[in-house]
Structure 1
Amino acid sequence: MRSGVLWLMAGLSMSLAGCAVTQPQSNEPPPLSEASFNTRILELETALSQQCQASAAINEQQLDQQQVLTADIREVGSLLRHLRQEVASLEARDEEPIIIREECPVAEASQDNKTLLGRSEWVGLPSIGTYLKARVDSGANTSSLSATEITRFERDGEDWVRFKLALNEDDVVVEQVRDKWIEAPIERRVKIVQASGEESRPVISLLMTLGPIRENVEFTLNNRTHLDYPVLLGRRFMMDIATIDVAETYLHERPEFPGGAPSDQAADDEAADQDDTEE
């Protein structure tokens, strides 16, 4: 009987041990108190506020950097445009341009005795290095020079103009300057009213010789290839220094320039003229 009791006690011990092994253990944290909850919420709010402030500072810094980069890009773009213009200008020119500088005239003609001119005369342009035929017309106010590819630009804060002489194949000129670029400061602009409308033309000043006359003359620039003479001399030039005899032509010798024909060969070129009227 005693052995039976021992067996019963052993069985109960094993049953109790099994229950102890299979009983699950709880891992849940202990419940928070109200004070701990509020403290945790404040910590989270503070951390979030700090992150927002840091993000705003980074965004402001990036915006400043973007504005600086945008300004730099615009400046570089402006420099590139100017460089392209300069490169295009240099590529368009085979040689250095003729740059017109202000020259002082030499008073070779007496102001008391006016020089007599024919309706057609040879004029010399020393700063360009050529002679050209000119129509003398007291009906025109301002003198005019035939020009093409007229381009305005700025040099040292002043308005300048770049152009080439606009000439026909039969126009007499020192050949080496026929296609040369010429650059000169703009003295002023004039408004020309024609049947086709109004036109603004630049005016430049060039030292001009005609017989004994050596004067700075203002010329408007416009294409005269549809006319017989590349130069027109108006009454502003003739005032107080010259008179015109429309029955005469080429009363004064053609000036000579390096690369040009001698003056004693001008007769053949003069004989080719047609007695046409101009504006």
Structure 2
Amino acid sequence: MCHVCVMESVKKKMLSRRDLFRGAAATGMVGLAASAARPALAQSTGKVVDLTHTFTPEFPTFGGEPGISMEKTFSIEKDGYQLFRVTYDEHSGTHIDAPLHFSADGASVDELAPEDLMCPLCIVDISAKAAEDANAMVEAEDIEAWISANGDIPAGALVAMYSDWAEKVGDPSFRNDADGNFAFPGFAQSATDMLNEMGVAAIGVDTLSLDPGNSADFAVHYSWLPSGRYGIECLAGLAGLPATGATIFVGAPKHGGGTGGPARVMAVL
């Protein structure tokens, strides 16, 4: 599907499903991270890992246009101090998707409960699958395998997909295949439906989208976000982190009525 067609499909689907979403996100966030995250913090060694890409106009975006611009409005030479006017797209760089992004009246980014932005971090490694298939997905069986190896996923956790895709930033293959089609890993709805039932607060990916690049229906966006949960896209630094045991801190923006925005995301071990 062409890039323009994908975006038009999203717009039409959001309008046609407006009534379905109305009230769907009214339940708000699950609010379970507070009790789950505090024990993880108590066990922390204090090591901090930055999971955020540096945000520049060259950073790849879903739409293909630069996601940020900076204009120097004051300078040391002229004014004695420096200041930039920064303009950015909410959904560019390492960023958060709030429920409002894919629902008519879901929670905006400023309405997310702060306790849900501090979560136990569980990392599902699908890098081997992704090396064989650019549109590989975290499936329900991957979640089951993770649980068998690591124990239960705690309520209020953030479950992140590690596909090793962050290493491709700066190369066209981060976004597209050789034919110019979107091609990158993401979550399957079979996995996110399972995580929803477990009371997981959020999901994250090291790619441009919660859904895989070849998705034509944005099934995960349309099911996960309207349920009152959020997502993080374009994570960095997941390589080398343990599958479990870290706490993730999501420094979400807080502009009123926002559907998301660039975030500083860190893991504490």
TM-score using structure 2 length = 0.24
Higher Rg: 1
Greater percentage in strand: 1
Structure ranking higher on relative contact order (CA contacts 8 Å, 6+ apart): 2
